[in-house]
Amino acid sequence: MIIGTHSGLDSMNAATTFPTLPSDITLPDWLQECIIEQRSPLVCDSTSPADTTLVCQAFEFAYCLHQGQTRASGEPYIAHPVAVAALLRDLGGSGVMIAAGFLHDVIEDTDVTAEEIEGRFGTEVRRLVEGVTKLSKFNFSSKTERQAENFRRMFLAMAQDIRVIVVKLADRLHNMRTLEHLPDDKRRRIALETREIFAPLANRLGIGRFKWELEDLAFKYLEPDAYRHMQELVADKRIDRETRLEQVAATLRERLGQLGIDCYDISGRPKHLYGIYHKMQRQQKQFQEIYDIAAIRVIVDSNDECYRALAVVHDAFRPIPGRFKDYIGLPKPNRYQSLHTVVIGNAGKPIEVQIRTLEMHRIAEYGIAAHWKYKETGHSSAKLSTDDEKFTWLRQLLEWQSDLKDAQEYLETVKDNLFADDVYVFTPGGDVVVLNQGATPVDFAYRIHTEVGNHCAGARVNERMVTLDTPLKNGDIVEIIRQKNARPSLDWLNFAVTTGARNRIRQWYKRSNRDENILRGRDLLEKELGKSGLDALLKSDPMQTVAERCNYASPEDLIAALGYGEITLNLVVNRLREAVKAKQPIAKPAPTTPASPHAAYSSSAARSHRPAAK
C-alpha cells in the first residue's frame, strides 16, 4: 500500500532519540509514554528497561526508514507499523514482538538488510521480521502448484516460530481495516484470501478477537449487499433484544449472589455479523429463526463454579434439550473452553448462555497469545513442541507435506483442515481423539497408529459392532478389532475422510503393488510418447529432472506414482516437454529425423499435443 519510497538512512547512522514527539502522526498514549517517560510498553507487569529501549529504538528506526512513504489513503506509511505494533501489544506480545511489528515492512520496502536488523535489534527480531517478509511475498490466489508451495513454506515458518504468523495476522487485520482505499479488484482479492486463509488461521490459533473482525471485514467487501442487509436486521430490534438479555442477566446475578458465587461479569454480547450470516446459510434458516444472535456470558472464578452456575441457569430458566455443550470437559483443538446451554428466557424466546472462568475467557479472546499477555515476563515459547496439543493440527499439516505430492490434493487437504468441524470420541481407555466431522472407525484406527489401521478387521462403537463406514458422533467410545492377516481395502477410500487415513491406505497399496504400478505407469507414458521415445527418455537427464521437480527420487518412483494415480499424466508430460526444451540448443534447426532421445520425445510429444483444427 505504499505510494512513494524513500530511505531515511541517508541521515541516520544510529537510532535517533526524539527530543519531541513526531508532528506528522498522532502516536497512541502507550507509545508516547514509552518514548517520553521511558515507561514499559508491555501490557504485562514488566519493568525491564531492555524492553522499553528495544521498542523505542525499533519505532525510531522504522520512523526514519519510512519517511517520505505514504499509504494509499494518503497518510504517512509509519501509521501502519504503529497500528500493527499496537495490535501485538494488546495481545500481550513481548518487546521483541512489538519491535517486529514496527519493523515488519522495512526489509521489503527499504534498503535495510536482515543482517542489519540482527545487528541493531538481535536474532529474535530478525527471525520474526524475515519470516513476515517471506509470508508477504506469497500469493495464495495464484495457480494451484504455486499456491500449494506457498502454503508449505508458510506452515514451515510457523513451525519454526509460531509468532511469525501472529505478526502477519496483525498486519493483515490493519490492512483489512483500511481496505477501502484500494481498487475494487484488489479489495476483493485480499478479502477472499483473508476469509479463506487468515481468518481460519486466527481461529486455529484461538485468537477470537482477530478471527471475528477478519471475517466481518472480508464479508463487507466480498458480499456488500448481504453485509448491509445483516447490519439492518441486527440493528432493527437491538433495543428489545438488549432489554431481554439484561432481564436474564439481572435474574442470574441475583440467584448466583444468593449462592455465594462471585461473578467477574454477567453481560450480553452480540454475535458478529458473518457468524450469523454463515449460520443462516449453513442451516437454511431465516434471521428470525436464529436464536443465538446475542448471548449471555457468565464469567466466574473456578471450574467448579462453572458447573454450579450451570445448575443455577437451568433452575432459573427452562433448558432446551440437546442444546448443552461441555467444552470444559472436551476443549476445542484451539483450547477454547466454556459451557454452552440454551434456555427459554423471560419473553419466551431462546437465549444462549455461556459460562467460563476468567482464564478461559482470556484464552477465548487471545488464544495462543493468552499466556504471553498474563505471564510476568511477557515472553513466549516460540518453538513448536511435539507434545503440545495446541498444535496438533499444525503438526498434521507439516506431516502431509511429505505425504501429498499432488498440489490440488494438498490444497484441498489444507483448506479442509483449517475449516473442519471436529468430532470428539474416546478410546476404550478413556483418551480423547479429535477427528474431522464425518470420520469413521477407519479414520480412528489410523489416528491411533498406522499398523492399527493396516490390520483393522472391524470396530465396536459403544460396545456394539458397526460397519467400518459408520460416521462417528461426539462421545462415542470406539474399539478397533485387529487381525494379523487383515489388510486395507481400496473401498475404504470411499468413506475415510481424514487425510492421514487416506494417505496411509494409498501408501500401503503403493508399497504392496509397486511392480504393478510401474507397469501401469509405463503403459500410460507409452501411449502418450511411443515406446521408442519412452525408452530413450527413461535414462535421460530430463526424466531425472522431472522426477526431482515432482518430489520423487528417481524416474522409477515417478512412473510408479503415475501408475498408482498419485500424479497425473498431463503434469508429467508437460514437465517433460519443459525439461526437453530447456536441454535443446535454441538456434539449431530441427533435424528431419530424430537425432537424439530428446528429439524423439519432442516429435512424438508434439504429435500427441497438436491442437485440433478450429
The catalytic residues are 108-109
Enumerate the H helices of 3-103 as residue ranges.
29-36, 49-65, 79-90, 95-103
Characterize the bridge pairing of strands 339-344 and 325-326. Answer: antiparallel
Q: How far is CA 42 from the centre of its chain?
A: 27
DSSP for 401-431 reads HHH---HHHHHHHHHHHHH--EEEEE-TTS-
Residue 50, classified by CB atoms within 10 Å of its CB into exposed (0-12), middle (13-18) or buried (19+), is exposed
CA distance 219 to 199: 11
Provide φ and ψ at 28, rounded to 5°.
Answer: -65, 155
CA distance 565 to 560: 9
CA distance 310 to 294: 18
Provide φ and ψ at 351, rounded to 5°.
Answer: -135, 130
Grid coordinates given for 354: 455461556
* H or E element, residue 253: helix 238-258
Contact 39, 28 (CB under 8 A): no
Grid coordinates given for 524: 500410460
Grid coordinates given for 69: 512513504
Grid coordinates given for 408: 490440488
Sign for the CA dihedral angle at 427, 433, 437, 442 comes to negative
CA distance 144 to 300: 48
CA distance 453 to 443: 8
CA distance 462 to 474: 12
* H or E element, residue 532: helix 531-538
Provide φ and ψ at 422, rounded to 5°.
Answer: -115, 155
Per-residue CA distances from 102 to 305, 521, 611 (Å): 42, 53, 54
Contact 237, 205 (CB under 8 A): no
CA distance 203 to 150: 20
Contact 456, 425 (CB under 8 A): no
Characterize the bridge pairing of strands 432-436 and 422-426. Answer: antiparallel
Q: What is the DSSP letter of 194?
A: I
Residue 73, classified by CB atoms within 10 Å of its CB into exposed (0-12), middle (13-18) or buried (19+), is middle
Neighbours of 596 (CB within 10 A): 14
Long-range contacts of 73-78 (CB under 8 A, 24+ apart): 73/1, 73/178, 73/181, 74/3, 75/25, 76/24, 76/25, 77/1, 77/2, 77/105, 77/109, 78/22, 78/25
